[in-house]
């Protein structure tokens, strides 16, 4: 495909895709009546149904995983994933860092090691469900490498991802404590080294984490019914908490600081070390409670009161507070709905939210907060498994890229999956894992794109917060180059005995190149691999026609050699894949 044709197509997409995607959210999945009937899915999944399931439960379908789901069924596949051993981001970060230091002891892999590990696990990890859920949780329990102190501790950020993967398959109460005690959350939301009040100086406890643990990590701003709808008083939502609750809870989060060999010495609290001796893993080991800095005052919040303490007991205060939060009736619908939004659909029906919330409240064996049961309910509920007027969401940029890379088996020359920072909105994705611009994630769960059909229908489309002219153009340009030249940082690789400089991740288009002389069949294969059988006939025709305009010369015609023929075939494949992945239809997960 010539650059002129590619650029022209890109301009058309830039003008139309945002509006088209919003309309598609309305017409193919994210709108309609909440009273639509859905029935339990009991028949074995077809290949298209299995692929659609895998768009929700993994970073993208592969032929192997599609066959596995078809053979096992949804529930058994989920159970098998629960039992797969976790792959460790921290371990891989350490391996990369050691290699860098072996070349130059003064260097470090830095934040690149986190991005590399994310993409390696997303593309090749056998524990796909764990990694996908951990990514979803990283957008709820947010820390960000954009923060200076967090950014200086990438090994700890890799460990934070591991913690989300581990606790995300455990109990919510344990997850909430692990998040609250993690030093990277402590520095990000400023409750590490938070001190009790001092009447002499006027110091009061930092309220940042107390506010966000309620607003974002547990109960939200408004009281909720089990189905996620707000409780109302005189037509207005009822607040879940007020300033007095924040102030009372802030006293709980005092006195926590680094794990340290000489805990609870003052030097450990302030610097994480004493006499220049510190725990080398202090940046990710759970924070410890230092009684001398913990508030002994009465702590009242959310109807719970911790009496004044004769002797400070930070661990006991924390346990009481987290129990109160984890047992609040809002948690099931609040966290459950966000997991549905991150994995399945932007606008779940009240019945869907209620089913997930009820599973959170009781997993069937009297256990509250069983995350495995919640995840399984999210993915197997009839609304998740049937394409209806309440199914669908816009794919965020990271998940668009991961779907393409997994579909075509992109492999890393270096073994490090050096995709790198993809923040740039004009030339890349406009989104990098673990680099949210704020604790509110890349987008709010209740975001409504103004001036769209979705807005007019009263629907939310969270990922549309990232969709505007610059990001649309950047995605088009980025994917054009990725498909033609590979993804990530360049390196040298030996091919047929010669040193070749190319980008780190390269696709396997062998099956597609074999169909290059048959545009209709080529497009149908892409329909199966990238759209799971849902590509509209008009789009098929448009892409096949465009591909057919790229001439494949005949061998020895006018001096043509096999290399020129191979290049023409690859250009056809590049064009077909490119036009598919920049279409609004691909960018909507149905």
Residues 21 and 125 in one domain: no
**Which of 306, 329, 352 is the C-terminal boundary of a domain?**
329
Q: Are residues 128 and 257 in the same domain?
A: yes
15 plus 89 within the same structural domain: no
Distance of CA 157 to the CA centre of its chain: 15
> What's the pLDDT score for residue 9?
47
Which pLDDT score, from 0 to 100, does residue 170 have? 98
In a domain, 380, yes or no: no
In a domain, 465, yes or no: yes
Q: If the chain, 590 residues long, is cut into consecutive pieces of 10 residues, what is the mean pLDDT of each piece? A: 43 48 56 46 87 98 97 98 97 98 97 98 98 98 98 98 98 98 98 97 97 98 98 97 98 97 93 84 98 98 97 98 98 98 97 98 98 98 85 95 98 97 97 98 96 91 95 96 97 91 97 98 97 96 98 79 94 98 95
Q: Is 487 helix (H, G, I), strand (E, B) or coil?
A: strand
In a domain? residue 353: no
The answer to whether residues 564 and 502 belong to one domain is: yes
Supply the DSSP symbol for 219: S
Q: Considering the domain boundaries, does residue 58 fall inside one?
A: no
CA distances from 99 to 212, 283, 590 (A): 38, 21, 42
- Total domains in the chain come to 2
Please say which residue of 294, 311, 329 terminates a domain: 329
Which residues make Cβ contacts (< 8 Å) with residue 338, sequence separation at least 6?
A: 140, 445
Q: In terms of Cα–Cα distance, which of 218, 85, 214, 96 is closest to 155? A: 96
Q: In angstroms, what is the C-alpha Rg of the chain?
A: 26
Residue 275 pLDDT: 76
Q: What is the pLDDT of residue 391?
A: 77
How high is the pLDDT of residue 22? 60
Q: Is residue 420 part of a domain?
A: yes
Burial class (CB in 10 A: 0-12, 13-18, 19+), 350: middle
Say whether both 7 and 91 belong to one domain. Answer: no
pLDDT value of position 40: 56
Q: What angle do CA 68, 72, 78 make, to 5 degrees?
A: 90
The answer on 22 and 100 residing in a single domain is no
Cβ atoms of 167 and 138 within 8 Å: the answer is: no
Q: Does residue 584 share a domain with residue 469? A: yes
Of 329, 363, 383, the domain-final residue = 329
Task: Report how far residue 336's alpha carbon sits from residue 223's, in angstroms, rounded to the nearest whole number.
Answer: 15
Q: In the prediction, which pLDDT does 558 show? A: 67
Give the pLDDT score at 24: 59
Same domain for 14 and 148: no
Structure-block tokens of residue 571: 């250009």
Within a domain: 502: yes
Instruction: Please report whether residue 78 resides in a domain.
Output: no
Flag whether 147 is in a domain: yes
pLDDT of residue 277: 79
State residue 26's pLDDT score.
61
Are 149 and 265 found together in one domain?
yes
Residue by residue, DSSP assigns 225-258 as: -TTSPBPEETTEEPBS--HHHHHHHHHHT-SEE-
Looking at the structure, do residues 18 and 93 belong to the same domain, yes or no?
no
Sign of the dihedral through C-alpha 165, 168, 171, 173: positive
Specify whether 535 is located in the same domain as 396. yes
Contacts 24+ apart (CB under 8 A), 311-318: 312/196, 312/255, 313/289, 314/254, 314/255, 314/256, 314/289, 314/290, 315/289, 317/251, 317/252, 318/177, 318/180, 318/181, 318/252, 318/253, 318/256, 318/289
Same domain, 202 and 278: yes
Q: Is 6 exposed, middle or buried (0-12, 13-18, 19+ CB in 10 A)?
A: buried
pLDDT on residue 256: 98
What is the rounded end-to-end Cα distance, in angstroms, of the chain? 29
Q: Are 218 and 177 a contacting pair, CB within 8 Å? A: no
17: containing domain? 3-30+392-441+456-589
pLDDT reported for residue 466: 96
State the CB neighbour count (10 A cutoff) for residue 323.
14
């Amino acid at each position: 495909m010539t650059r002129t044709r590619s650029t022209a197509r890109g301009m058309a997409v830039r003008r139309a895709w945002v509006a088209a995607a919003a309309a598609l959210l309305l017409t193919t999945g994210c709108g309609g009546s909440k009273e639509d009937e859905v029935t339990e899915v009991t028949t074995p999944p077809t290949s298209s149904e299995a692929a659609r399931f895998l768009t929700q439960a993994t970073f993208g379908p592969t032929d192997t995983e599609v066959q596995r789901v078809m053979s096992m069924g949804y529930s058994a596949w989920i159970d098998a994933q629960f039992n797969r051993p976790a792959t460790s981001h921290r371990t891989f970060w350490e391996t990369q860092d050691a290699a860098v230091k072996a070349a130059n002891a003064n260097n470090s892999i830095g934040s690149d090691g986190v991005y590399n590990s994310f993409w390696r696990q997303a593309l090749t990890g056998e524990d796909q469900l764990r990694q996908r859920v951990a990514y979803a949780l990283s957008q709820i329990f947010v820390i960000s490498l954009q923060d200076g102190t967090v950014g200086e501790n990438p090994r700890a950020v890799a460990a934070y991802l591991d913690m989300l993967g581990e606790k995300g398959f455990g109990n919510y109460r344990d997850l909430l404590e692990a998040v609250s005690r993690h030093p990277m959350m402590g520095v990000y939301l400023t409750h590490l080294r938070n001190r009790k009040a001092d009447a002499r100086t006027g110091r009061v406890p930092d309220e940042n984490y107390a506010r966000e643990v309620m607003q974002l990590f547990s109960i939200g701003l408004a009281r909720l019914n089990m189905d996620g709808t707000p409780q109302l008083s005189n037509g207005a939502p009822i607040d879940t908490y007020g300033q007095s609750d924040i102030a009372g809870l802030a006293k709980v989060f005092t006195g926590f600081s680094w794990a340290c060999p000489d805990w609870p010495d003052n030097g450990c609290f302030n610097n994480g070390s004493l006499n220049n001796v510190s725990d080398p893993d202090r940046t990710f080991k759970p924070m410890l409670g230092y009684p001398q800095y913990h508030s002994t005052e009465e702590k009242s919040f959310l109807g719970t009161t911790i009496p004044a303490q004769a002797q400070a007991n930070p661990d006991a205060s924390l346990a009481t507070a987290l129990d109160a939060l984890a047992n609040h009736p809002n948690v099931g619908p609040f966290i459950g709905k966000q997991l549905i939004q991150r994995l399945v659909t932007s606008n779940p029906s009240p019945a869907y939210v209620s089913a997930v919330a009820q599973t959170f409240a009781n997993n069937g064996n009297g256990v509250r907060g069983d995350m495995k049961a919640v995840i399984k309910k999210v993915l197997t509920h009839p609304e998740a498994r049937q394409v209806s007027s309440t199914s669908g969401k816009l794919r965020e940029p990271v998940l668009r890229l991961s779907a393409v890379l997994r579909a075509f088996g992109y492999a890393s020359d270096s073994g490090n999956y050096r995709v790198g920072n993809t923040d740039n909105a004009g030339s890349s994705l406009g989104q990098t894992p673990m680099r949210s611009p704020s604790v509110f994630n890349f987008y709010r769960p209740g975001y409504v794109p103004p001036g769209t059909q979705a807005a007019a229908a009263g629907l939310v489309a969270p990922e549309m917060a990232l969709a505007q002219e610059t990001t649309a153009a950047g995605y088009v340009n980025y994917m054009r180059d990725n498909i033609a030249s590979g993804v990530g940082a360049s390196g040298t690789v030996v091919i047929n005995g010669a040193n070749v400089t190319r980008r780190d991740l390269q696709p396997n288009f062998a099956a597609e190149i074999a169909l290059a002389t048959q545009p209709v069949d080529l497009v149908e294969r892409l329909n199966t691999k990238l759209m799971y059988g849902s590509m509209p006939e008009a789009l098929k025709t448009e892409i096949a026609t465009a591909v057919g305009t790229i001439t494949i010369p005949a061998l020895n015609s006018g001096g043509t050699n096999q290399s020129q023929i191979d290049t023409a075939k690859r250009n056809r494949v590049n064009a077909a894949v490119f036009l598919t992945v920049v279409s609004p239809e691909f960018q909507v997960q149905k």
